[in-house]
A and B are shown apart, each in its own frame.
Chain A
């Protein structure tokens, strides 16, 4: 019994250490800046979040999903100009190249916050969790604003 407990402890310690190292690795390589959420009238239940994601590693990273406690659903969308017509569609992911960055901005990639659980006021901070293909995740604090 004691050996079994010891084995469980060792396995748990190894798993925890690996997860911690991975989290540290992600925070070292992925840097998110200028995160903001579009301010909307109180009756609106949908808005969009924007940010710049920088990948400092030598390997491409892929944003595969996002979530936020303030929204019932969170989706990655992309606007594109198709012969003068702005077309919006869901996007399964966002590829951030090695040693590169991608800016989520109006008219391009953005994170849709759908079914907002409460109205957002200018200046509010919205935590958004970003999940990446390699299993890592990071939390971004985006401020509600009207953009620049």
Chain B
């Protein structure tokens, strides 16, 4: 009886540790197991209604950021330009990057459009009310926090998760990338699901 209990306990521990690992997946690993389809509706940089479900068949790279973000966001967008270059023209046509602002107060649709055009990738800026954006943030298990910086000339900044979600042609979030991931590795993974 003790042996069976020990085996059951061991099995539970292994299963549990497996679940734990899924929640904190390292970049570039399969994320789809714990991730159902996460459709949402927001407005794009041209003021049009955007439904994620209308983009089945495309490979989506989605992340949350803000245009006055001086470090992480331009770094990620510049890196995506290198990823797009590595994918080649045919694959690039199937790609769409979604930049969801967490600062709708400052990031107007024209500002989002001008900002994203600079990075020369097929990117679409998305915005909405704070409540609408927060609902999408929650759905993707991301987080952000506005930080007032009285001592800095910046005014305010945001702390936010650095996740970059890779959503496959079926609308399932398949992979999760991070800031430190290399463009070559990301391109390789994307090629694998295209």
Residues in A lying within 8 Å of B, measured CB to CB: 38-44, 46-48, 72-73, 75, 77, 79, 81-82, 84-88, 90, 106-107, 110, 112, 114-115, 146-147
- From A38, A87, A114, contact of B74 by CB (8 A): A38
B162 close to A (CB within 8 Å):
yes
Q: Report whether B153 and A88 are in contact in the complex, using a CB–CB cutoff of 8 Å.
A: no
Give the segment of B41-49, B110-118, B130-138 that binds chain A: B110-118
B151 close to A (CB within 8 Å):
yes
Please classify how large the interface on chain B is, using the bins under 10, 10 to 19, 20 to 34, 35 or more.
20 to 34
B129 close to A (CB within 8 Å):
no
Write the chain B residue with the least CB distance to A114.
B153
Q: Can you report 10 residue pairs joining A to B where beta carbons are below 8 Å apart?
A: A44-B67, A47-B74, A86-B161, A87-B147, A88-B157, A106-B71, A107-B72, A110-B70, A110-B71, A147-B75
- From B67, B144, B154, B179, contact of A112 by CB (8 A): B154
Instruction: Kindly state the separation between the CA atoms of A42 and B68 in the bound complex, as whole angstroms.
Output: 12
A41-B118, A86-B159 known; A48-B68 Cβ under 8 A: no
Contacts of B74 in A (CB 8 A): 38-40, 47
Rank and list the top 8 A-B pairs by shortest CB-CB distance, nearest first: A41-B118, A73-B153, A106-B75, A146-B78, A87-B159, A114-B153, A48-B70, A46-B70
Residues in B lying within 8 Å of A, measured CB to CB: 24, 67-68, 70-72, 74-75, 78-79, 81, 111, 114-115, 117-118, 143-145, 147, 149, 151-154, 157, 159-163, 179-180
Contacts of A47 in B (CB 8 A): 70, 74
A86-B160, A107-B180 known; A46-B154 Cβ under 8 A: yes
Interface of A is mostly: strand
Instruction: Kindly state the separation between the CA atoms of A40 and B116 in the bound complex, as whole angstroms.
Output: 10
Q: Report whether B68 and A106 are in contact in the complex, using a CB–CB cutoff of 8 Å.
A: no
Contacts of B163 in A (CB 8 A): 84
Contacts of A86 in B (CB 8 A): 72, 159-162, 179
Q: Report whether A79 and B152 are in contact in the complex, using a CB–CB cutoff of 8 Å.
A: no
Q: Report whether B151 and A90 are in contact in the complex, using a CB–CB cutoff of 8 Å.
A: yes
Instruction: Kindly state the separation between the CA atoms of A54 and B79 in the bound complex, as whole angstroms.
Output: 26
Instruction: Kindly state the separation between the CA atoms of A85 and B141 in the bound complex, as whole angstroms.
Output: 12
Most buried by B among A72, A81, A115: A81
